[in-house]
């Protein structure tokens, strides 16, 4: 068998829908998440008490995390995440973003849509967090767009073009909280205001760390006339040095 044909068959037929995304174990039954029972139980679901605003885990009796309590302008109305950014889910996101395993997103998107329903979100339009042209050229895709798959399948409008990242910015990973908040100022632009005016908008992204990215996007959406802007991410990362 031709080598390229064998690689194609392996990536598109023999792996997809058969092996667990997290451990590679052969699945003996259908799973809309493509996850074995053992891995599903081990995933770091964010099912504990969280900040009513940003969705950050809270250990105290407070209703809000310290940042939201101190009135840091978040831009969005409410944010929630499916998992903590740790363990097996962290590895899978890295494999999706940096190693081109795009088919992962089809299944990960089901986790997002399930939380969307559980949290009673109501969106007129879903907007994936945009990436810069340079990042898109390097990666070949926007993982946030792929994570919107289940929303489109369930009849919710997904608009991948009305918000664009118009500035190249420094990688957020290398910055502290303060610098993250200023690094993205002016980086996003709503190019089609009619797509969001007077609408309930849901921003979808892979990871919520300090929230700088989604805050900036939410801000430009509100200025463009969006009625309500919520955020749904696959994971929430606890920022270094933050305790509740």
Task: Catalogue the E-assigned strands of 91-222.
Answer: 125-128, 157-158, 163-165, 188-190, 200-208
Question: Which residues have a Cβ under 8 Å from the Cβ of 97 and sit 6 or more positions away?
Answer: 139, 143, 206
Does residue 17 carry a pLDDT above 70? Answer: no
Tell me the pTM: 0.86
The model's pLDDT over 165-183, given as tens digits with 9 standing for 90+, comes to 988 765 645 545 555 556 5
Mean pLDDT of 158-167: 94
Task: Give the per-residue pLDDT at 169.
Answer: 62
Whole-number average pLDDT of the chain:
87
The model's pLDDT over 82-128, given as tens digits with 9 standing for 90+, comes to 999 999 999 999 999 999 899 999 999 999 999 999 999 999 999 99
- Burial of residue 94 (number of CB atoms within 10 Å: 0-12, 13-18, 19+): exposed
Distance CA 78, CA 52 (A): 7
pLDDT band at 240 (very low <50, low <70, confident <90, very high): low
Show the domains of the chain with their CATH numbers: 1-42 (no CATH), 44-236 (3.40.50)
Distance CA 4, CA 68 (A): 52
- Burial of residue 243 (number of CB atoms within 10 Å: 0-12, 13-18, 19+): exposed
Task: Give the per-residue pLDDT at 239.
Answer: 62
Choice among 30-34, 114-118, 184-188, 190-194 with the minimum mean pLDDT: 184-188
Nearest to 143 by CA among 106, 192, 175: 106
Record the tokens describing residue 17, joined without a space.
């829908």
Does residue 5 carry a pLDDT above 90? Answer: no
The model's pLDDT over 48-63, given as tens digits with 9 standing for 90+, comes to 999 999 999 998 889 9
Task: Give the per-residue pLDDT at 183.
Answer: 58
């Amino acid at each position: 068998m031709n080598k390229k044909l064998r690689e194609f068959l392996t990536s598109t037929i023999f792996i997809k829908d058969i092996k667990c995304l997290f451990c590679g174990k052969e699945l003996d039954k259908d799973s809309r998440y493509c996850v074995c029972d053992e891995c599903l139980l081990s995933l770091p679901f964010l099912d504990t008490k969280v900040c009513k605003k940003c969705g950050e885990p809270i250990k105290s009796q407070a209703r809000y995390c310290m940042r939201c309590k101190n009135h840091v302008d978040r831009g969005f109305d409410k944010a929630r995440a499916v998992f903590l950014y740790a363990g097996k889910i962290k590895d899978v996101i890295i494999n999706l973003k940096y190693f081109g395993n795009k088919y992962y997103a089809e299944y990960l998107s089901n986790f997002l849509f399930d939380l969307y329903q559980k949290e009673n979100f109501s969106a007129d339009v879903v907007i994936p967090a945009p990436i810069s042209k340079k990042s898109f050229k390097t990666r070949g895709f926007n993982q946030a767009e792929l994570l919107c798959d289940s929303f489109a399948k369930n009849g919710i409008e997904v608009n991948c073009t009305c918000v664009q990242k118009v500035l190249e910015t420094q990688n957020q990973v290398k910055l502290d909280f303060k610098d993250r908040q200023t690094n993205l100022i002016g980086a996003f632009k709503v190019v089609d205001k009619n797509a969001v005016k007077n609408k309930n908008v849901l921003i979808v992204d892979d990871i919520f760390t300090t929230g700088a990215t989604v805050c900036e996007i939410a801000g430009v959406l509100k200025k463009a006339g969006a009625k309500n802007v919520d955020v749904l991410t696959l994971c929430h990362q606890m920022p270094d040095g933050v305790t509740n």
